Amino acid sequence: MDFTRRAALMTSAAIASSVLFPERSFAQETPRKGGVFSVHYGAEQRMLNPSLQASTGVYIVGGKIQEPLVDLDARGQTVGVLAESWESSPDGKTITFKLRQGVTWHDGKPFTSADVQFTAMNMWKKILNYGSTLQLFLTAVDTPDPLTAVFRYERPMPLNLLLRALPDLGYVSPKHLYENGDIRQNPVNLAPVGTGPFKFVQYERGQHIIADRNPNYWRPNAPYLDRIVWRVITDRAAAAAQLEAGQLHYSPFSGLTISDMARLGKDPRFIVSTKGNEGNARTNTLEFNFRRKELADIRVRKAIAHAINVPFFIENFLGDFAKLGTGPIPSVSTDFYPGADTPQYAYDKALAAKLLDEAGFRAGAGGARFSLRLLPAPWGEDVSLWATFIQQSLSEIGVRVEIVRNDGGGFLKQVYDDHAFDIATGWHQYRNDPAVSTTVWYRSGQPKGAPWTNQWGWTDATIDKIIDDAATEVDPVKRKALYRDFVTRANGELPIWMPIEQIFVTVINAKARNHSNTPRWGSSTWHDLWLAE
Amino acid sequence: MRILGLAGRRLAASIPTLILILIGVFLLLQFAPGDTVDAMMAQMGGGDAATAKELRRFYGLDLSVTAQLGNYLWRLVRFDLGFSSIYGKPVATVIAERLPATILLMTASLSFAFFFGLILGVVAARGVNKWPDTIISSLGLIFYATPSFWFGLMAIVVFSVYLQWLPAGGLEDITVAQTGIWRTIDIAKHLVLPTLTLGLIFLAIYLRIMRASMLEVLNLDFVRTARAKGLDETSVVVRHVLRNALLPMVTLIGLQAGTMLGGSVVVESVFSLPGLGRLAYESVIQRDLNTLLGIIFVSALLVILVNFFVDILYARLDPRISTEG
């Protein structure tokens, strides 16, 4: 009671000062307890447990309810969440985590190292996408006491690689609710139980998901919000209208149309920015199928890259939300970005035509050289616009492009399972460390049917060796140098071209405070988020 | 009793149609590239081939198409609609959760379209070629020609964004818990714009049909007789013309129940309503065959049910129909 009265007094003081000194109000505001935060939720999920499915669609709900061992702070540095400290043995084969004391699950049971052991061995290693690659050489997790978890690896695991991966791939689930029965079919997957600041309340299919404040949260005085509501809105224009009508506060991960984001950016009621999404960088791709004899010729791939005016496309179609990309590791990756002095392909139509002539594909009747089937992924307007732009650009050098549109399932099946494409375009999402998200696009020997892996029919012993060496290199400086070699080789051989770099765009109501303050804010816990009156 | 016999025969006759539709849709969906596991992978943002294989076995997708179809029909015979792979629940439960919103929306839109279509049609017919007719007919044409998604979005912009009178979407306000009459009012408020959006195009159709059939009946001999008897114009219209002119309108309800389910996909998406239309769209995208077939089964039942009532209504309006049957 006392606290509420004090909070009320402080709030009224804040309001008074904001009237007197409006320009100072932001800095002087005191966080307000209470309020309901409404989030735009574009696609429904089959599960909400981030220990089982690594995707932003899951984190945006599950990341408020469950917590990872570590997360990233405002400067992008690793900070402990369920783990307080960590250390690696010199050979990189043993990594020890000290866990936080006094943390309980939402059902009241204590959080211990047994939960970490169970989750790592049964979920991360066996089920979690990307996790199964990351933890491939994990042999055991020892639990000498309830607050210590010792990860044992068969091959050296670079500590920095693990720490960069764990914010996304290190969510912990309660062992006592999962140890019996089939993990995939457990009803807890859709009614998650965690240690986070919000407790799951309800999932009404097609309508909303609700989570309420966890009164026993381990961070003192957190969270501020009473409730978070995720509203399922599939239509982008409808979501923009609901933001304007005040029914929604936040649309994450570029959930609106490009034109609506640009329009709302001029409205003082909203903040439209890429801030808080630096950890969710993505590049637009152009993937070449090496089974086509024309595309197996490096001169043709280079000609295609030279024929497309990327700066023109970015300026006229993507606006402020994108920039010129320089390869598979985006510039936001402070740990690994090699700079722009790797092989690049500037717009040069004459050079493109010359390369095609040299490769023996001379213009025939009507100026046509050969034709290609282009499969654009159905995610995002930018991919669709980019596909049309490729089609028009290539027609100018005599390459006919037929665009074949599919929905999500159809696209993955045709490209990654049936290999029924000549060129394909979609997104590559970078996950803080190339070993987690990127090298599988280039490493040969990927099993057929695995989406977002090397299904181009490209094999290169040099790049395979670089990838394997970098994955187990414990010295951070040597690792960075290896990834520089990786980008140089990848850009030079061009099995995939990644010419555009984008960061997801956030649209949020200006009343929200403490938002976008970490590089993966949309996925984080929101324990300090609050709403001004 | 005769009416019921007629209706019963109609119901029995629709069963083979229903089965043919289900088999047709099942086969049609086989032509779409990718299955539910591919869609799942797309949603997850990646996964390995071994997981995909295991999931395919789990959902029975490794069987041949005929075996899958056989399994499905055999389950259907036992009134089991199967298990939804997107929702992780029995299809019957998933549909039961979505059905109320769709039925609410359909009933509201049909009643709105029918009622106002009837009134406007009568007014237009009575003032044929005068200004009320011109205004009503032009309005009807505009409603008919406007795509419903555009109309829906414009209605949101005007009534929700600028005027802030009505909510922009959803079925009810979930930020405050409401019960009883307040909840009913809240849901009704949320339904105003979707009902208008879905109903206007049908209103335009009803209005034109009503106008035409009124004009036709007004010229028949028995109307002239009624007038000659000295009845005033209102009783002529209400007692003699309306009842006869209503027949084509009632026919249209039966026909449009199905169309309306289709139209609801757009309206449910624009207004974020948790209905069957959006569920159907989602199941196609996610290749959730069981749910899609379940929805088709239930929608077909709905359409059959509406037509059943139309048949009964028909017999009430025109007694000749039930005796001929």
Tell if the CB–CB gap between A57 and B175 is shorter than 8 Å.
Answer: no
Which candidate in A203, A236, A413, A443 is best for mutational testing of the B interface (most B CBs within 10 A)?
Answer: A413
A47 touches chain B (CB under 8 A): yes
Q: How far A133 CA lies from chain B's nearest CA (Å)?
A: 9
Check A409 against B287: CB less than 8 A apart.
yes
The DSSP H or E segment spanning A78 is strand A78-80
Residues contacting A390, CB < 8 A, separation 6+: A286, A308, A374, A401, A423, A425
Residue B68 predicted with pLDDT over 90: no
Q: Does A34 touch chain B (CB under 8 A)?
A: no
Please state, rounded to an integer, the average pLDDT across all residues of chain B: 83
Q: How many helices (H) and strands (E) does chain B have?
A: 14, 0
Two structure tokens written together for B119:
């009134």
Among B44, B161, B174, beta carbon nearest to A241:
B161
More confident residue, B84 or A223: A223
Residue contact B38–A412, C-beta within 8 A: yes
Q: Distance (Å, rounded) from C-alpha A320 to C-alpha A254? A: 13
Beta strands A427-429; A496-503: pairing state: unpaired
Q: Is B279 on the interface with A (CB under 8 A)?
A: yes
The Cα–Cα gap between A151 and A173 comes to 17
Which two tokens mark A216?
């026993």
List domains and CATH numbers for chain A: 32-48+196-276+505-531 (3.40.190.10), 67-178 (3.90.76.10), 279-502 (3.10.105.10)
Q: What is the ipTM of this complex?
A: 0.78
Chain A CB within 8 Å of residue B292 CB: no
CB A8 within 8 A of CB A34: no
Taking the CA of residue B120 and the nearest CA in chain A, the distance in Å comes to 31
CB contact under 8 A, A204 and B274: yes
CA dist A257 to A52, A235, A239, B151, Å? Answer: 30, 10, 10, 19
- Closest-CA distance, A408 to chain B, in angstroms, reads 6
- CA atoms lying within 13 Å on the CB side of residue B51: 24
Structure tokens at A212: 């309420």
Report pLDDT digits (tens) over B148-190: 888 888 888 888 888 888 888 888 887 776 778 888 888 888 8
SS3 readout for A126-155: CCCCCHHHHCCCEEEEEEEECCEEEEEECC
Q: Calculate how close chain B gets to A73, using CA atoms only, in Å.
A: 24
Residue in the structure block whose two tokens are 């048949």 = B311
Three-state SS at A204? strand
Helices of type H across A219-342: 236-244, 258-264, 293-296, 298-307, 310-313
d(CA B43, CA B60): 20
Give this prediction's pTM: 0.84
On chain B, the residues whose CB falls within 8 A of the CB of A407 are 34, 39, 284-285
B30 touches A: beta carbon within 8 Å: no
Higher pLDDT: A436 or B6? It is A436
A522, A508, A68: which is closest to A271 by C-alpha?
A508
Nearest to A444 by CA among A468, A460, A433, A424: A460
A55 interfacial to chain B (CB closer than 8 Å): yes
Looking at residues B98-113, what average pLDDT do you find? 89
| Cross-chain residue pair B48–A450, CB shorter than 8 Å | yes
Average pLDDT per consecutive 10 residues, chain A (533 residues; last block may be shorter): 42 40 53 93 87 91 96 91 95 96 95 97 90 91 96 94 94 96 89 96 89 94 93 89 91 91 92 90 94 95 96 91 93 90 94 94 87 92 94 94 90 91 94 90 88 92 95 92 96 96 93 93 94 88
Residues from chain B that touch A414, judged by Cβ atoms under 8 A, are 33-34
- CB-closest option in A411, A418, A449 to B49: A449
The b-or-e profile of B219-251 (16+ CB within 10 A means b, else e) is eeeebeebeeeeeeeeebbeebbbebbbbebbe
What is the widest separation between alpha-carbon atoms in chain A? Answer: 86
Q: What is the pLDDT of residue B252?
A: 83
Among candidate residues B106, B55, B193, B41, the one with its CA nearest the CA of residue A184: B55
Distance CA B314, CA B205 (A): 19
Do the strands A423-425 and A427-429 form a parallel or antiparallel pair, or are they unpaired?
unpaired
In B59-118, the residues whose Cβ lies within 8 Å of chain A are: 85-88, 94, 97-98, 101
Phi-psi region of A331 (alpha: psi -120 to 50; beta: other; left: phi over 0): alpha
- Parallel, antiparallel or unpaired: strands A227-232 and A36-41: parallel
- Cβ of B42 within 8 Å of Cβ of A411? The answer is yes
Question: What are the tens digits of pLDDT across the range B14-28?
Answer: 788 888 888 888 888
Triad A233, A236, A242: Cα angle to 5°: 65
- Residues A102 and A84: beta-carbon distance below 8 Å: no
The set of residues, in sequence order, having a beta carbon less than 8 Å from that of A441 and lying 6+ positions away, is A328, A428, A452, A453, A454, A496
pLDDT at res. B152:
87
At residue A13, the pLDDT reads 41
The pLDDT, as a whole number, for residue B2 is 65
Cβ–Cβ contact B285 with A under 8 A: yes
Phi/psi-derived region of residue A464, left when phi > 0, alpha when psi is between -120 and 50, beta in every other case: alpha
Q: Distance (Å, rounded) from C-alpha B18 to C-alpha A233?
A: 32
In this complex, which of B49, B58, B87 lies closest to A448 when CB atoms are compared?
Answer: B49
Strand A281-288 versus strand A423-425 pairing type? antiparallel
Chain B hits for A228, CB-CB cut-off 8 Å, are none
Residue A173: phi and psi, rounded to 5, are -115, 155
Number of Cβ pairs < 8 A linking chain A and chain B: 175
pLDDT at residue A17, as a whole number: 39
Q: Give CA–CA dist B9/A359, Å, rounded.
A: 72
Q: Where do the domains of chain B lie? A: 91-148+197-317
Residues 157 through 196 of chain B touching chain A, CB cutoff 8 Å: 157, 160-161, 164, 167-171, 174-175
For chain B, state the CA radius of gyration: 24
Contact status, residue A498 vs residue A283, Cβ threshold 8 Å: yes
Do the Cβ atoms of B43 and A408 come within 8 Å? yes
CA distances from B76 to B23, B82, B91, B92 (A): 12, 8, 12, 11
Assign A270 to helix, strand or coil.
strand
The confidence score (pLDDT) of residue A327 equals: 94
> What is the tens place of the pLDDT at every residue in A226-278?
999 999 998 888 899 899 988 899 999 989 998 899 899 999 999 999 999 98
Helix (H) or strand (E) holding A39: strand A36-41
Identify the CA nearest to A136 among candidates A475, A486, A454, A471: A471
| Architecture (CATH level 2) of domain B91-148+197-317 | Orthogonal Bundle (1.10)
- DSSP for B143-209 reads HHHS-HHHHHHHHIIIIIIIS--S-SSSSS--SS---HHHHHHHHHHHHHHHHHHHHHHHHHHHHHH
Query: Can you name the residues that pair with A324 across neighbouring β-strands?
Result: A500
pLDDT value of residue A441: 93
Q: Shortest CA distance to A70 belongs to which of A144, A149, A152?
A: A149
Per-residue pLDDT tens over the stretch B20-59: 888 888 888 888 777 888 887 777 666 667 777 877 887 7
From chain A residues 230-249, the ones with a CB under 8 A of any chain B CB are: 231-235, 237-238, 241-242, 244-247
CA proximity to B156, closest of A258, A246, A261, A252: A246
Q: Which of A206, A244, A451 sits opposite B47 (nearest CB)?
A: A451
What residues in A contact B170, CB-CB < 8 Å? 207-208, 231, 247
The answer to whether B289 contacts chain A (CB < 8 Å) is no
Residues paired with residue A83 on neighbouring β-strands, in sequence order: A99
Q: Is A58 exposed, middle or buried (0-12, 13-18, 19+ CB in 10 A)?
A: buried
Distance (Å, whole) CA A403 – CA B8? 51
Rounded Cα gap, residues A135 and A140, in angstroms? 10
Give the model's pLDDT for residue A20: 41
From edge to edge, which strands make up the β-sheet containing A148-153? Answer: A83-88, A94-99, A148-153, A138-145
Cα A364–Cα A286–Cα A371 angle in degrees, nearest 5: 20
Position A506 scores a pLDDT of 94
- CB nearest to A45's CB, from B36, B43, B174: B43
Q: Is A445 part of the contact surface with chain B (CB cutoff 8 Å)?
A: no
Q: What is the pLDDT of residue A92?
A: 92
Closest to A512 in 3D by CA, of A271, A276, A274: A271
CB within 8 Å: A238 and B170:
no
Cβ neighbours of residue A120 under 8 Å, at least 6 residues apart?
A: A135, A138, A141, A149, A151
